[in-house]
A = this chain, B = another copy of it.
Amino acid sequence: MKSVFGSPGKVSGLLLRMFQFLFAAASLALMASASGFSFATSFCFLIAAMGLQVLWSFGLACLDIHALRLKKDLHNHIFLSLLAVGDWVTAILSLAAACSSAGVMVVFIKDTDICRSQTTLSCNTFQISIALAFIAWFLLAVSSYVVFWLLATI
């Protein structure tokens, strides 16, 4: 059994899940509180994707705490397979949402002047929320690769 940084059921794995949860929750809260987010469909998709990541990372953080307290070993084939698929789907959705929102932001700021002409849109808040979503995705991608590596070497 290999012990890799970020493995499920380890302190490093728990920390990764907690940071994923925090960044996704911050991104979700900022986007949902920004005025005019419903103007662009991509921003609503970002809220949905970050909501999914919040639930997924929070659930797995709880599982890590449970495993750490009872000193349980989570490295079995079925659990790691489920985790790999779940991480992959959540990571792809998070990246897709962050990238589509970033594309829309570039249209709003650079390609057109929607941000200047429509002052009801909180463009700065949108940008911070998208940056946080990218960080949340990166942390999830790290977890995803660690799980895939463990699954391949188990």
Residues of A within 8 A of B (CB): 39-42, 92, 95-97, 99-104, 106-107, 110-111, 145, 148-149, 152-153
Contact = CB atoms under 8 A, between A and B. Distances in A.
Contacts of A42: 103, 106-107
* A interface SS class: helix
Nearest to A84: B145
A142 B63 CA distance: 29
Query: Sorted from nearest, which 6 A-B pairs have the closest CB atoms?
Result: A100-B103, A152-B152, A99-B99, A103-B103, A42-B103, A96-B99
Contacts of A95: 92, 95-96, 99
A111 B153 contact: no
Contacts of A110: 41
B99 A106 contact: no
B40 A107 contact: yes
18 contacts: A40-B103, A41-B110, A42-B107, A95-B96, A97-B99, A99-B99, A99-B100, A100-B102, A100-B104, A101-B103, A102-B103, A103-B104, A104-B106, A104-B107, A107-B107, A145-B148, A148-B148, A152-B152
